[in-house]
Amino acid sequence: MTYSYYKNMQLNNIIFVYQGEVTADLVSSILQMMENKLEGDGEDKKIKKKVFNVMVECLQNVYHHLDTLEVGANTDSDINDRTALLMIGKEEKDYYVITGNHIINSRITNLRDRLEKVNNCDKNELKALYQTILNDGELSEKGTAGLGMIDIARKSGQKLGYDFHPVNDKYSFFSLEAKVARV
Amino acid sequence: MIEPLKIEPTHKTPKVYFDPQNNMFELSGRSIPEDSVGFYKRVLDWIDEYSQKPNSKTEFKFELEYFNTSSSKNILELLKKLEKIHSDGNDVHITWYYDEDDEDMEETGEDYKALLSVPLELIMKVY
């Protein structure tokens, strides 16, 4: 069993994986650990910064989202925890950061629209979009700025991968994948 | 004169060194707290007080390594307060430092410059 986990992770170039509750302290610890790893691997300073930036946004994005998620078994469809999946991989050409968490179905349309919009923008359009939202957007109560996805796309320089996997009549599992080229 | 504001840097929050008496204003390091509003409230409140009676010339230095999007909005608020001090007829000069290999930090400096009328100079740090 253990060997198959190991081989599977190795085969998929996964250097870090976490499944469980996401707290602020946990996010900080992961970031610190991954920063040390990038440093230890002697990764190019420019790439290291990009990967770190994308990790910060992706992980904090999940943290803030889970914080707003109402949990508790009121009905059979309700989920009982604020758990998520956090994964970091290092392939020959790219680093990738994957996050997965539950999302209420009614929020899917809005999120999908935002992701499609970001993926349809070129570099300059992303810059313009970022500036507009930075200037006009209000900070939410949680201090989030609505800039996360745009920032990830800008720093990644590649399209964002995403998926909504239906769980039940109330929730889906949302996954987001951001890549950073190693060259 | 208003008391200086000095906050030591941490893994997640920047160094803040606002000292009007010596005309030194610096925000540097990393700004990646989950709760950026909590951190920046103190900083923005201080600037509000300073703007009541600012120095005739304010030299403000940003030297950030990393910051998250939640901080970016607060940094814009800070810059807008400096812009106001400038439009009130005071001399304000902002310098935005970035590493030579950090095009993202350079771009962010450009983003802010595009949104503001206060003089903002981008300076590349060469090693």
pTM attached to this predicted model: 0.91
A50 chain-B contacts, CB cut-off 8 A: 104
B89 contacts: CB under 8 Å, gap ≥ 6: none
Query: Residue A73: is it exposed, middle or buried by C-beta count within 10 angstroms (0-12/13-18/19+)?
Result: exposed
A131 chain-B contacts, CB cut-off 8 A: 111, 114-115
pLDDT at A143 (0 to 100):
54
pLDDT at A140 (0 to 100):
62
Put simply, whether B68 touches A (Cβ < 8 Å) is: yes
Percent of chain B scoring above 70 in pLDDT:
100
Question: B68, B67, B62: which is closest to B82 by C-alpha?
Answer: B62
Residues B19-28: what's their mean pLDDT? 96
pLDDT at B26 (0 to 100):
98
Are the beta carbons of A145 and B72 separated by less than 8 Å? yes
Residue B124 binned pLDDT confidence (cut-offs 50, 70, 90): very high
Distances (CA, A) of A84 to A81, B69, B105: 9, 21, 30
B104 chain-A contacts, CB cut-off 8 A: 49-50, 53, 154-155
Percentages of chain B per state (helix, strand, coil), in multiples of 5: 40, 35, 25
Domains, chain A, in order of start with CATH, read 2-181 (3.30.565.10)
CA distance A151 to chain B (A): 7
If phi over 0 gives left and psi between -120 and 50 gives alpha, with beta otherwise, what is residue A13? Answer: left
pLDDT at B9 (0 to 100):
97
Per-residue 3-state assignment (H helix, E strand, C coil) for B78-126: HHHHHHHHHHCCCEEEEEEEEECCCHHHHHHHHHHHHHCCCCEEEEEEC
**What does each of the 183 residues of chain A score in pLDDT, given as a tens digit?**
899 999 999 999 999 999 999 999 999 999 999 999 999 988 899 999 999 999 999 999 999 888 767 666 566 667 767 789 999 999 999 999 999 999 999 999 999 999 999 999 999 999 999 999 999 876 565 555 579 999 999 999 999 999 999 999 989 999 999 999 998
Put simply, whether B41 touches A (Cβ < 8 Å) is: no
CA distance A13 to chain B (A): 26
For the domain made up of B5-125, the CATH class stated in words is alpha beta
pLDDT at A62 (0 to 100):
94
Out of B65, B102, B111, whose CB is closest to A131? B111
CA gap A86, B56 in Å, rounded: 50
CA gap A128, A50 in Å, rounded: 20
pLDDT at A136 (0 to 100):
85
Are the beta carbons of B37 and A139 separated by less than 8 Å? yes
Distances (CA, A) of B10 to A25, A110, B39: 14, 36, 12
Distances (CA, A) of A74 to A142, A173, B11, B125: 25, 19, 40, 56
Q: Read off the pLDDT of residues B36-50 as tens digits, 9 standing for 90 and up.
A: 999 999 999 999 999
Which ipTM score applies to this complex?
0.90
Q: Residue type at B20? A: P
CA gap B38, B70 in Å, rounded: 11
CA gap A143, A17 in Å, rounded: 27
Query: Residue B48: is it exposed, middle or buried by C-beta count within 10 angstroms (0-12/13-18/19+)?
Result: exposed
B38 chain-A contacts, CB cut-off 8 A: 143
Percent of chain B scoring above 90 in pLDDT:
92
pLDDT at A141 (0 to 100):
56
Q: Residue type at B36? A: S
Q: Read off the pLDDT of residues B99-112 as tens digits, 9 standing for 90 and up.
A: 998 999 999 999 99
Are the beta carbons of B34 and A143 separated by less than 8 Å? yes
pLDDT at A66 (0 to 100):
83
Put simply, whether A53 touches B (Cβ < 8 Å) is: yes
pLDDT at A56 (0 to 100):
96
Are the beta carbons of B69 and A28 separated by less than 8 Å? no
